[in-house]
């Protein structure tokens, strides 16, 4: 770390975010001997999503053996599917185990990061100071900003309102009248925790979710001992889950008939747990399995069958001081409103703060959520910038697998830049457009695009901006090396003011 003539401290690599993505990048940089980096984290702890989402029942829907770094297996998971406190603890342990805590700047919110073309560097202004860097890695996290619904009168409500990602642990639900808006993965997990204590709970559902029986179970002490003393056993378990997730891809992308067994399992699970035909009809999805991300639960349907729980499918017209008014004119009087309304993915505020060539931000580049990238990692107009979990990077497995592949791509880029004495690289517009066209063609018939639902997977124009157009093995293979002929390259030995175009 050095000071430059502007007074800002200079580092080789700046990383935004200390969740799985940012920590994974930092650890691998350290392992490669590239220790001149800093991680800027707006919160006071590592963990990202798994630090802030502390709602009751918060749990990952990917098995613990797979939802962890391949280079840092954890033999001490207590459940097959990890709960939030254990995931946060795992990331905290990794931070110390790999010796990167001193490179994390906590409580440093990145106000903006701007590409300075003449010097071929990024200028990162944070709430704790200013730095410059050669490389910028954006690990913003797609699920780091809660989405608050635009409902008339929400600010007028006289009771308590909070989002699942900003859980109010001081609020007691005991005997209260609760409204829950949303039926996504978070609500499926916290509603069963609230229903037994609430005086009454009304779940406002716009679209039902496909729910499968949850295979979660405790991992015995003997099982944990086996993983610790015989690591190949845990690697084999990871491999098994990896292959299972991979086996779903053909059905999701091309051959929807392969999803029929899971569709039947979801319907059978609903029939078995919900005997009331009226309620069962409300909870039956009308879209294809997989169009929205399905979830697991053995407790959600039974919670909705309780006498003190109502599932309301009429649309919300407005919120008034005493409660929620639905389109049929009914006023539902409640004491608290819990928002299970997901996250702002396409409209992340971080996109306004990352400013590339010519003063153009990511938000300007992606108006209205029409996001595009090259292999989910680089963006034309943003030299020396690498994005973790960017557009069309998601593979149908643990996102930790995606992150590791992308970090490998960043490392390959850094090696290539060193070998060829490059000051900057920027993906060409042609390469990015070709990747987008290929992605659109491959995903046109996928269940995500044509399964009969609307989701955050799709942009307003209907383009799938989320998923990788193939298998995880295809993704990992494509991300193992960087093809510099897809990039504009600026040599470090020529005029540094030469513009990349």
Confidence grade of residue 316 (pLDDT, cut at 50, 70, 90): very high
Cα angle 240, 243, 247 (rounded to 5 degrees) comes to: 140
Helices 84-97 and 20-31 cross at an angle (nearest 10°) of: 20
Mean pLDDT, the chain, rounded, equals 92
Highest mean pLDDT among 182-186, 262-266, 367-371: 262-266
Q: What is the pLDDT of residue 233?
A: 93
Distance CA(338)–CA(324), nearest Å, equals 12
Share above pLDDT 70 across residues of the chain, in percent, rounded to a whole number: 97
Whether residue 301 is predicted with pLDDT greater than 60 in this model: the reply is yes
Nearest to 100 by CA among 42, 15, 43: 15
The residue length of the chain stands at: 501
| Measured torsion, CA atoms of residues 465, 466, 472, 474, in degrees rounded to the nearest 10 | 10
pLDDT tens digits, residue range 246-293? Answer: 888 888 988 888 999 999 999 999 999 999 999 999 999 999 999 988
* Most confident region among 49-53, 425-429, 452-456 by mean pLDDT: 425-429
Please tell me what DSSP assigns to residue 147.
P
Instruction: Please state the rounded mean pLDDT for residues 483-498.
Output: 78
- Highest-pLDDT range among 5-14, 352-361, 362-371: 352-361
Q: What is the pLDDT of residue 497?
A: 43
Task: Give the pLDDT band (50/70/90) at residue 214.
Answer: very high
Average pLDDT over residues 348-376: 92
Of the pLDDT bands very low, low, confident and very high (cuts 50, 70, 90), residue 347 is confident
Task: Using pLDDT thresholds of 50, 70 and 90, give the confidence band for residue 1.
Answer: low
**Which carries the bigger pLDDT value, residue 373 or residue 2?**
373
**Whole-number pLDDT of residue 496:** 46
Euclidean distance between CA atoms 194 and 172, whole angstroms: 10
Residue 390 confidence (pLDDT) = 94
At residue 3 the predicted structure's pLDDT band, cuts being 50, 70 and 90, is low
Mean pLDDT on 435-451: 92
User: How large is the average pLDDT for residues 192-204?
Assistant: 96
CA distance linking residue 361 with residue 303, whole number of Å: 45
CA angle, residues 357, 362, 367, in degrees to nearest 5: 120
Q: What angle do CA 299, 304, 310 make, to 5 degrees?
A: 160
CA distance 72 to 243: 20
Confidence of residue 500 (pLDDT cuts 50, 70, 90): low
Runs of H (alpha helix) within 346-471: 350-353, 362-365, 399-419, 429-443, 447-450
pLDDT of 328: 92
- Please say if the pLDDT value at position 184 is more than 90: no
> Stretch 324-340: mean pLDDT, rounded?
94
Structure confidence by residue, pLDDT tens digits, 49-99: 999 999 999 999 999 999 999 999 999 999 999 999 999 999 999 999 999
Which residues have a Cβ under 8 Å from the Cβ of 378 and sit 6 or more positions away?
385, 386, 387, 426, 427, 432, 487
Neighbour count for residue 17 (Cβ, 10 Å)? 26
Question: Averaged over 296-309, what is the pLDDT?
Answer: 96
Helices (H), 359-422: 362-365, 399-419
Query: Could you give the percent of the chain with pLDDT greater than 90?
Result: 82
Exposure on the CB side of residue 337, measured as CA atoms within 13 A = 27
141: pLDDT confidence band, cut at 50, 70 and 90?
Answer: confident
Residue 268 dihedral angles phi and psi, to the nearest 5°: -65, -40
Separation CA 441–CA 302 (nearest Å): 41
Are 183 and 340 contacting, i.e. CB atoms less than 8 angstroms apart? yes
At residue 111, what are phi and psi to the nearest 5 degrees?
-75, -40
Q: 171 near 336, Cβ under 8 Å? A: yes
Q: Is residue 375 within 8 Å of residue 479, measured between CB atoms?
A: yes
Kindly state the average pLDDT of the residues 206-220.
94
Chain segment 227-252, per-residue pLDDT in tens: 999 999 999 999 999 888 888 888 89
Answer whether 331's CB lies under 8 Å from 492's CB.
no
Closest CA to 473 of 175, 234, 242, 252: 242
Check whether 492 has a pLDDT greater than 90.
no
Give mean pLDDT, residues 357-378.
93
Q: What was the pLDDT predicted at 8?
A: 81
Residues contacting residue 180 through CB under 8 Å, at least 6 positions apart: 187, 190, 191, 194, 201, 202, 203, 204, 337, 338, 340
Q: Where are the beta strands (DSSP E) in 228-281?
A: none
């Amino acid at each position: 770390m050095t000071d430059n003539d502007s007074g800002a401290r200079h580092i080789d690599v700046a990383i935004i975010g200390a969740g799985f993505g940012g920590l994974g990048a930092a650890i691998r940089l350290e392992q490669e001997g590239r220790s001149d980096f800093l991680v800027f984290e707006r919160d006071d702890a590592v963990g990202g999503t798994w630090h802030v989402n502390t709602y009751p029942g918060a749990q990952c829907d990917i098995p613990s053996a797979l939802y962890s770094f391949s280079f840092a297996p954890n033999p001490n998971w207590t459940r097959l599917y990890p709960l939030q406190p254990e995931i946060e603890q795992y990331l905290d342990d990794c931070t110390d185990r790999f010796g990167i805590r001193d490179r994390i700047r906590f409580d440093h919110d990145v106000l903006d990061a701007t590409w300075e073309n003449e010097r071929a560097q990024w200028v990162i202004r944070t709430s704790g100071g200013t730095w410059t860097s050669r490389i910028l890695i954006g690990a913003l996290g797609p699920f780091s900003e809660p989405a608050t619904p635009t409902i008339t009168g929400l600010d007028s409500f006289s009771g308590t309102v909070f989002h699942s990602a900003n859980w109010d642990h001081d609020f007691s639900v005991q005997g209260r009248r609760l409204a829950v808006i949303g039926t996504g993965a978070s609500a499926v997990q916290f509603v069963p925790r609230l229903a037994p204590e609430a005086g009454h709970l009304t779940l406002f559902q716009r679209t039902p979710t496909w729910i499968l029986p949850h295979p979660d179970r405790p991992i015995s002490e003997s099982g944990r001992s086996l993983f610790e003393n015989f690591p190949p056993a845990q690697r084999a378990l990871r491999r098994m889950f990896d292959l299972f997730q991979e086996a779903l891809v053909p059905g999701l992308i091309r051959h929807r008939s392969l999803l029929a067994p899971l569709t039947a399992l979801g319907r059978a699970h609903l029939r078995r747990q919900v005997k009331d035909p009226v309620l069962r009809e409300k909870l039956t999805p009308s879209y294809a399995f997989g169009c929205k991300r399905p979830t697991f639960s053995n407790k959600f349907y039974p919670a909705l069958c309780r006498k003190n729980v109502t599932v309301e499918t009429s649309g919300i017209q407005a919120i008034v001081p005493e409660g929620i008014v639905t389109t049929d004119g009914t006023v539902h009087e409640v004491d608290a409103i819990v928002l299970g309304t997901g996250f702002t993915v396409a409209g992340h505020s971080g996109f306004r703060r990352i400013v590339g060539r010519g003063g153009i931000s990511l938000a300007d580049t992606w108006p209205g959520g029409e996001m595009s990238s090259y292999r989910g990692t680089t963006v034309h107009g943003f030299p020396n910038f690498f994005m973790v979990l960017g557009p069309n990077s998601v593979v149908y497995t643990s996102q930790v697998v995606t992150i590791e592949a992308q970090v490998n791509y960043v490392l390959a880029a850094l090696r290539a830049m060193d070998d060829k004495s490059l000051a900057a690289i920027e993906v060409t517009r042609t390469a990015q457009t070709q990747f987008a066209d290929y992605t659109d063609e491959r995903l046109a018939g996928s269940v995500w695009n044509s399964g009969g639902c609307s989701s955050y997977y799709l942009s307003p124009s209907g383009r799938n901006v989320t998923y990788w157009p193939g298998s995880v093995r295809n993704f990992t293979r494509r991300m193992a090396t960087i093809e510099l002929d897809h990039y504009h390259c600026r040599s470090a030995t020529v005029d540094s003011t030469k513009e990349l175009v």
